[in-house]
Amino acid sequence: MKKYIRIAALIYVIFLALFWILASGGIRVKGLFIEDFVYQTDAKPLLSGNISKRTTSYTTSTLKRVLPWQWEEPIENTYILDIMKGESFCGGNFTGYVGKFAQLNYVIIDPDRGQGRQGGENISEVLNQPEENEHYILQSGYFKLNCKKKIYYNFNAKSHLRQWLNVLITTAENPAYKVTYDSWTIAVKRYEYVNLYHTMTDFYNAFLVSKAFEMQPGNITILWIDGHPSGTLDITWKTLFGPILRAGYIQQPSMFNHMVWGIMGYDSPLNKHNSKNMPYLEEFRKFFLSRHNIPTKSELNCTKLKVMFLWRRDYVTHPRNPSGSVSRKIQNENELLNSARKHFVGHDIFGIQIDKLDMKNQLKLIAHVDILIGMHGAGLSHTLFLPKHAGLIELYPTYWSNTNIHFKAMARWRNLYYLTWTNNDRSKELPNKYIIVDVKAVTDLIGKMKRNVCR
C-alpha cells in the first residue's frame, strides 16, 4: 500500500512541476523552445517583461506542439551566401543586406511614434474603407537604437525600408522600454494582403530570411506594420512562422532583441519572372506543406490522373471591392468538366473554387493534382505546391495579355509541364467579365498534357 502511495505522490509532484513550468511561460532556451519542440502562441501576444532579466512572458492559452523544422543545406546555389554580404553599423546592431533587408539587434519600438488603425477588424466593419486608412504612419523615433552615429544605408529605391530607416533614431543613451521580445521577429509591411500571389511573395521572402538566419519556424514573431483588416491568409502566416503581432497592438516601448526588416513583397525574387531559376523553391514547397502537416510526396498513377479545374468566382476579399466581383470567370464550367470526363474516362476530374477552403484543405488537394487548369489569376500560385511530375494549363481572355507570365515562370522554375490557351474570339466574352472557353481546345490540351506527364 505504501508503495502505491509513494507512486501517487511522485505523479502529483511531477504534475505540479509541469503545471508550474507552463504557468510561468515554459523553459526559456532562446525563446519558447521546450524539449526540442516549439510552442506557438496566440496571434495577439500582448506581452509583459522583466526589464532586468530581459525575459518575455507570452500568453499560453493556445500552446501548440509543433515538430522543429530542419533547414536543408544551401547546396542548390550560392543565393543565401550572396544576399548575406552585409554592411554593418552601430557595432553590428544594424546590418543592411543587398539593399533589400536588414537585421537589427536590441532595437526599440516606441508605439507613441506610430499612428493608424490597429487592424484585424472583420471585413464587414470596414467596407469601402480607403486603402490609405490601412497604412500605419511612422514618425521619427518609432525605431530606436543605442548608437552614437546616424546610420546611412541605401535600400532599393521603391522599398518602404527607406522610410523605416528615416524614422530610426540613434542615441548614445539607453532608451527606456518595458517589454522585451527575445526570439526572432520579422517586420513586414503588407500591400495586397489578401491576394494569394502577392502574399506568396511575402511568404517566400520571410522563408528566405528565416533560412538565412536559421530561425526556427513556430518560434518566429511576425510583426505587421500595417492596419489591414482580418484576411483569409492571416492564419497561414502563423502556421508557417509563429505568433503574429500587429504594430497597433504594441502599447508600451518594446525591445526586440533580434529583428529583421523583411524584404518588400514587390522586391521578391518571385517577381523576377525572367529569372532562369528560383533559389530553394523545392525546399520552400516542402516547408509550406510540412508546416501544414501535408505529405510532400505524391505518386503518379497514369491510370487515374487527378485533373483539377480552378474556378474564379465572385467573393468579397477586401474593403475596396464590397460586391466581390472578379474578372476572368468561366461561363461554361460544366461543359468543360463534362467534355473532359467523357474523353478521359476513369480519371479523377473535378472543378473547385479553391479560395473557399482554408489553406490546409487547399494544399491537401493541390499536393496530389497531376494536371491543374485555370484562368490566369492568383490561385495559380498553387503551381508552387504541385507534385514534381505535374503540369499546368493556363487560360487567358483577350483583355488579359499572356505576357503576364507569373505562373508560367513558376512552372519553368520547378521543371513542370506548361501549356496555354488564349481566347481570340471577342464574341465569347460576356458581361460581368465572364468568358466562354473553347471546350475542344481545352480538351485537346488535357490530352497533350496527359501525354507529357505520363511519358
The predicted-structure confidence for 172-220, as pLDDT tens digits, reads as follows 998 899 999 999 999 999 999 999 999 999 999 999 999 999 999 999 9
Which parts of 203-253 are beta strand (E)? Answer: 221-224, 244-246
Low-confidence ranges of the chain (pLDDT < 70): 1-67, 73-77
* Cβ 190 vs Cβ 163: under 8 Å: no
Q: Where are the alpha helices (DSSP H) in 279-426?
A: 281-291, 333-343, 359-366, 406-413
Q: Where are the alpha helices (DSSP H) in 230-298?
A: 234-240, 281-291
Torsion of CA 323, 326, 331, 332, to 10 degrees: -120
**pLDDT at residue 269 in the model:** 96
d(CA 221, CA 184): 6
Neighbours of 349 (CB within 10 A): 23
The predicted-structure confidence for 347-395, as pLDDT tens digits, reads as follows 999 999 999 999 999 999 999 999 999 999 999 999 999 999 999 999 9
Phi-psi region of 99 (alpha: psi -120 to 50; beta: other; left: phi over 0): left
d(CA 45, CA 416): 41
**pLDDT at residue 55 in the model:** 35
DSSP 408-446: HHHHHHTT-EEEEEE---GGGEEGGGEE---HHHHHHHH
Tell me whether residue 115 is exposed, middle or buried, using C-beta atoms within 10 angstroms of its C-beta: 0 to 12, 13 to 18, 19 or more: middle
**pLDDT at residue 11 in the model:** 54
Domain annotation for the chain: domains and CATH numbers: 79-271 (no CATH), 294-453 (3.40.50.720)
